[in-house]
Chain A
Amino acid sequence: MSDSSFQNLPKGWKSVPSDLGSDQTAFKGVQWGKAMMWIFLLSDTFIFSCFLISYMKGRASTVVDWPNTSEVFSLDFMGVPVPLLLIAIMTFVLITSSGTMALAVKYGYEKNKKMCGWFIFATAIGGLTFVGMQAYEWSKLIHEGVRPWSNPFGAGQFGSYFFMITGFHGTHVSIGVIFLFIFARKVFRGDFDTGRRGFFTTMKSDYVSIEILGLYWHFVDLVWVFIFAFFYLW
């Protein structure tokens, strides 16, 4: 649809019935890929919610004490155990990468190829750092005897929820990192300026793809906010 007709549509709450009841497109001004990414993220929200709700139910219904997360996830720093140190660093790394991604989207829309590419690259490095620290955390806990069925710290369910929830989140981060590297290459090659057609699609490349990639990456950060609050802090 053209830009001018977009501006004349009703605004505020009145826009909801008029947009949803309108002809051809329900989400005005939203590129189809972006709408599809949002719907995918909504379905992903349901999956992560199911994991976190089952964790809540499992933790609430066990008669054995839950492991003290601030001791289990403490890390020795110069001989002193600091509670949740690694998790705090991981949180800051992920937020940093979310910020660089937001800037990449901004520079993408400004068609600033160089800045956009470097910020996507920085985001990918941040994601890679996060996955590396998570691998370290997993191996540390496995060495300490945490298993999906039992652990030396308390309720046996702890391990299964930990590996399932952080594992599923880590998988999302890893997939994100792969796509970030692919898109960094595409940006530097100039695909989005020349409108070069993609590998999987015959459609022309457009900088809106960077925003779609950004949505996915911010979602991964968003899920971590909830995991950090419910699993590590609670």
Chain B
Amino acid sequence: MNENTEINKDKQKASTTHKIGIYLWIWGLLFVLSFFSYMVDWYQFQGLLRWSLILFFMFLKAGLIMAFFMHLFWERYALVNVLLWPMTAIACFVGLMVAEGKYTVFTRLIYFVLGE
């Protein structure tokens, strides 16, 4: 029994402290990804390529920060779910406002630009 609790303590310790290597790796990756997203502007990529690259690097960076720097990778799913599900509400909101924005610019073009 005594031995068992010792093992559990070690496991508990392992869940809060991690090897320095993982942090340095993520740190390095974030630098590289930031450099790449800066290069998107540097080489003036346009159109679909531009915004798909921007989004790709953005989500990758955000994911790395949340998973490893903010320790979500090691947290129990109950907490992770509470944090990530509300994001779908935000995604819905984005979708609604894309449609709304298109409608607004459509009416503005008709009444302001064509009307003159």
Contacts and interface: CB of A to CB of B under 8 A. Distances in A.
Contacts of B109: 63
A57 B78 contact: no
Nearest to B80: A16
Interface size class of B (residues with CB under 8 A): 35 or more
Given A45-B90, A56-B98, A15 B41 contact: no
A112 to B, nearest CB: 10
Given A4-B8, A27-B76, A106-B18, A83 B42 contact: yes
A16 B80 CA distance: 9
Interface of B is mostly: helix
Interface string A19-30: 110000011111
A3 B9 contact: yes
A219 interface: yes
B97 A70 contact: no
A199 interface: no
A92 B32 CA distance: 10
Given A49-B93, A229-B37, A106 B83 contact: no
Q: Give the 8 A-B residue pairs with the shortest CB-CB distance, closest first.
A: A60-B101, A61-B104, A19-B78, A99-B27, A229-B58, A61-B105, A57-B101, A109-B17
